[in-house]
Structure 1
Amino acid sequence: MNTRAIKVAGFAIAWIAVVGSVAMPSAAADGKLIGTAGLTQIEGSGGGGIVPWATLAGYDSREQISVGATLSRVDVDDFRLSMLSASISLYDKVEVSIAQQHFEIKGAGVDIKQNIVGLKYKLYGDVVYSEWPQVSVGMQYKHLEDSAVASSVGAQNSTSGTDFYIAATKVHLGAIAGFNAVWNLTARATKANQMGILGFGGPQNNDYELMLEASAGILFSRHIALGLEYRQKPDNLGLGEDDWTDYFVSYIPSKHINLTLAWAKLGSIAGAPGQDGLYLSLNGQLW
């Protein structure tokens, strides 16, 4: 999918938001407990900061839709990643998202752009009320606008690739000293190098590999959550790509907005070790 198609998809989501706010005020998404919609991860899908969850990116019930937008930034020693995304969640069943990432190499004047289209479908359950976890399947199609850097480091496919995942998420009410707890497990099939910023596949491996991802957190009130995440990464290029972790605190004053601050430990990126720094994300639900 090219950049024009992504821009058209973004316009479509924005148009749905405008039309819906005028014609369907009764469809405003308020059907879930505050905080149970999760956040928006760095690739635009509903979830944590670096891990997609089974939750959909909104508070819609079976009769509602929701539309949201997110701005995120990760600033580590030698690199900076910015992400702008929009998503629509339909009837507590389907999520569609679009995102654009800007990956900057500090001091080098290099800005790599990656466009992502995500799709998620809920297979089973409710994150709070079902006995077993909510389970969803999803995909993320990724397209690099400039493939020069990916080619230079040896990516087998320096233009585009697709990740596939299945996620299970559960909120346990009053589970830890009376506070609500949440956990998520995700299995991702991927060829992506550094999420796709450095292309897909490489001299070490050009096949899909199954990577495990996990999140856990405690909701200390209706508005404050603390937790951590882990994301396993392939090393297709032989550059020592490390797994990712982050430690986050989220402030959720209402269902319309949330703010997340995290300390991200991203390890080695393109051979540069020790890439740690701050992650900041602001999400707004238009309805």
Structure 2
Amino acid sequence: MHKHRMSRAIALGGLALAGALVSLAAAADDGSSGAPANVSGKLLLTGGVSEIGGAAGGGLTPWAVIGGYGTNDQIGANAFYTRVNTQDYHLDDAGVMVGLYNRVEVSFAQQRFDTEKVGGLLGLGNGFTFKQNVIGVKVRLFGDAVLDQDSWMPQVSVGMQYKKNNQDAVVKYVGAKRSQGTDYYISATKLFLSQSLLLDATVRFTKANQLGILGFGGDKNNSYQAEFEGSAAYLLSRNWAIGAEYRQKPDNLGIAREDNWYDAFVAWAPTKHVSLTLAYANLGNIVIKDNQHGLYASVQVGF
């Protein structure tokens, strides 16, 4: 019961922060402070949504864009909540992100992976939950996905995500070497405004098993591996986008085969302060259950 109360408190805290972000953005937009607005200068949807690790991007993979709607002399911020349901598991994911002057992004996310009845089959107990905290930093190196429309140069950013899992003994029992680790990635994002098309390619260097939910490294491999992640999004209008993503995964554990992930999504942003994302996600094998697929739903608020 204590864990459930803590989970609710985290979610409510995220929503409270989100409300504060929206209020701040509204005050800046209506000029009530008497000063020029210093937030929300980017085009709608060009800041991406919140990736499962907290960074700005698609649902499964980060993009090179800096999150929020702040331009070079502005600050942007988002708070998000995501739920992923498959046949045998579910994941709750909540976090916050701040984008500074379209140059640096700092993020935090907490992932809670519920094993449901599979936990009982594994001897852990029904509803056994892994909790992982993710701290991320992203830096734009060069290019501007929105402004560089007269050039083929993409926006390029580098990032890292430090992850710490709370189930050290369990992940080591299944063969992982550590319960904490760091992913490093480089992303290139190109927006073709006249074609209403966004493309992203990311290379991630990682040891993470199932995002880190099952620890880092394993009996099959304990070295960093370069994994490809890609996204494509088509803007149906200024408020709607559809797209697809693909994410390669390392396969480090002999006891639990790991498959690559993909999804197809639709995102709706009625304003710069709110966006909703729905996706069908195929996650393949997770521990002892094959063909895990289902609904991905996420809400993001901010400016």
Q: Same fold, TM exceeding 0.5?
A: yes
1:145 has 2:166 as partner: yes
> Corresponding residue for 1:37?
47
Q: Which ranges in structure 1 are unaligned for 5 or more consecutive residues? A: 1-6
- C-alpha deviations, 1:243-285, integer Å up to 9, x for none? 0000000011111110000000000011311100000000001
Query: Following superposition of structure 1 onto structure 2, how do residues 250-269 of structure 1 map, counting pairs within 5 Å?
Result: 250-269=267-286
1:162 has 2:178 as partner: no
- C-alpha deviations, 1:78-130, integer Å up to 9, x for none? 11011010011000100000010000001222011000000000001111221
Task: Confirm or deny: 8 A CA contact 2:138 2:157 kept in the other structure.
Answer: yes
Task: Confirm or deny: 8 A CA contact 2:182 2:206 kept in the other structure.
Answer: yes
Aligned alpha-carbon RMSD (Å): 2.1
Question: How far apart are the structure 2 equivalents of 1:116 and 1:202?
Answer: 20
Q: Which ranges in structure 2 are unaligned for 5 or more consecutive residues? A: 1-9, 118-125
1:127 has 2:137 as partner: no
Query: Following superposition of structure 1 onto structure 2, how do residues 44-193 of structure 1 map, counting pairs within 5 Å?
Result: 44-107=54-117, 108-130=126-148, 131=151, 132-157=153-178, 159-175=179-195, 180-193=196-209
Deviation at 1:173, TM superposition (A): 1.5
Instruction: Identify which of 225, 231, 236 aligns with 1:220.
Output: 236
Aligned sequence identity (%): 47
- Structure (1 or 2) with the greater helix fraction: 2
Task: Confirm or deny: 8 A CA contact 2:94 2:111 kept in the other structure.
Answer: yes
Aligned length: 269
Deviation at 1:27, TM superposition (A): 4.9
Question: How far apart are the structure 1 equivalents of 2:92 and 2:201?
Answer: 25
| TM-score normalised by L of structure 1 | 0.89
SS class of match (1:261): strand
Deviation at 1:217, TM superposition (A): 1.3
| TM-score normalised by L of structure 2 | 0.84
Task: Confirm or deny: 8 A CA contact 2:38 2:73 kept in the other structure.
Answer: no
Deviation at 1:26, TM superposition (A): 4.0
Question: How far apart are the structure 2 equivalents of 1:284 and 1:38?
Answer: 12
Question: How far apart are the structure 1 equivalents of 2:245 and 2:273?
Answer: 24
